[in-house]
Amino acid sequence: MIEKTPNSKATSEDIPATLSKAIELQTQGTPASLEGVPVPLSEEAYATLREKVLADIARDCDKNPYHNRAHTEGVERRFLELAKLAGFSPSETQIGAIAALFHDYGHAGQTVRQETSVSLPQKDLSNEEFAALMVDTFLADKMPKDVIAFVQSAILGTSFGQSSGPYARPYKPQNALEKLVAFADIANFTSTLDEWMEENFNVLRETPSVNTPKSYDEMIIGRNKFLDFVSSKLEDVAPILGPENTAQYQVSLEKLRDAVNSLETKEKYEPLYEALLAEKLNRGLRPHSQ
C-alpha cells in the first residue's frame, strides 16, 4: 500500500513490482527516451487490444457519467490528432494511443479511488496506478518491459485532482508524448458548447457532495478556473505543436470561454444545473451548505 502522507513519493517497496519502473521514470523527473523504439504492436494486434480494452471499459465503467468508454474514445481521438500535428513517429503514436486507451481503465467513477464507497480491486492504488497496472496484465507477453513502462508512465502523467491531501501523488507528464496524452485528456474544449457543458455536468455527477458547487454561478466560476488550467497546459504543449497549431487551439479555447460566460448560456443551463442538484438531492448527494 502506498504511504498515505501528502507529497510522499511512491517507491518500488510500496507498489506492485510491475509499476516500479514507471514510477521511477516519474519520480526521478527524467523523461523516458523513445528514440529507436520500434512500433510495439502490429496493426492487427493493436486493433484486437483496442477492441478488448474498450469492451472492458464499457462493461465496468459505463455506469460512470463521465469516466466511461465515450470519454476514453474521445481522449484517444484527440491524442491521435495531436500526435499528427506534432509529427510523432509511428512508435510514439502507438505508445501514446495505448496510454490513452488505458488511462481510465477500471476507473472508480470518483477522482480519488481510495475514497470511493463501493468495493473495488486495489483501492490502495489511485485510478491512474490501477490503470497502469492493468497495462502489464494485458501486454506482459506482447511488449518489452521497458516499453510497457513508457506506456504506464504516460498514464501516471494524466493524474488529476490528487496533488495534495492524504492520497497525494507526485506524477506529472515528463516528455512530449506524456504531455500530449495528458493534454488530450482535458482538451474537450474543441467540441461544441453543448457537448462541453454536458461533459462538465457529468464530471459533477461524479463529484462528492462536499465539492459540488451549490449554484450555477459557483459552478461557472469553477469551470473558468478549469479553463485557466487547460490554458496553462496548452502553453506546456505549445513547443511540441508549433505556433500555428497552438494559435488554433487558443482560438477554440477562448471562443468556448466566451460562450460559457454568456448570458444566453446562463439562461439555458442554469435550470439544467438546478435539475442536476435536484438529481443529487434525490440520491442523497446534495452539496452541503456553508
Phi, psi of 152 (to 5 degrees): -65, -40
pLDDT value, residue 2: 40
Q: Residue-wise over 108-134: b if at least 16 C-beta within 10 A, else e?
A: bbbbbbbeeeeebebeebbbbbbbbbb
Helix (H, G, I), strand (E, B) or coil at 242: coil
Cα–Cα distance measured from residue 92 to residue 35, given in angstroms and rounded to the nearest whole number: 9
CATH of 1-186, one of 1.10.3210, 1.10.287, 1.25.40, 1.10.940: 1.10.3210
Cell matching residue 260: 460559457
pLDDT value, residue 287: 44
pLDDT value, residue 35: 80
Domain extents in the chain: 1-186, 188-290
pLDDT value, residue 17: 65
Q: What is the pLDDT along the chain (290 residues), one digit of tens a residue?
A: 343 333 334 443 456 666 888 888 888 777 777 888 899 999 999 999 999 999 999 999 999 999 999 999 999 999 999 999 999 999 999 999 999 999 999 999 999 999 998 888 889 899 999 999 999 999 999 999 889 999 999 999 999 888 889 999 999 999 999 999 999 999 999 999 999 999 999 999 999 888 899 999 999 999 999 999 999 999 999 999 999 999 999 999 999 999 999 999 999 999 999 999 998 888 764 444 33
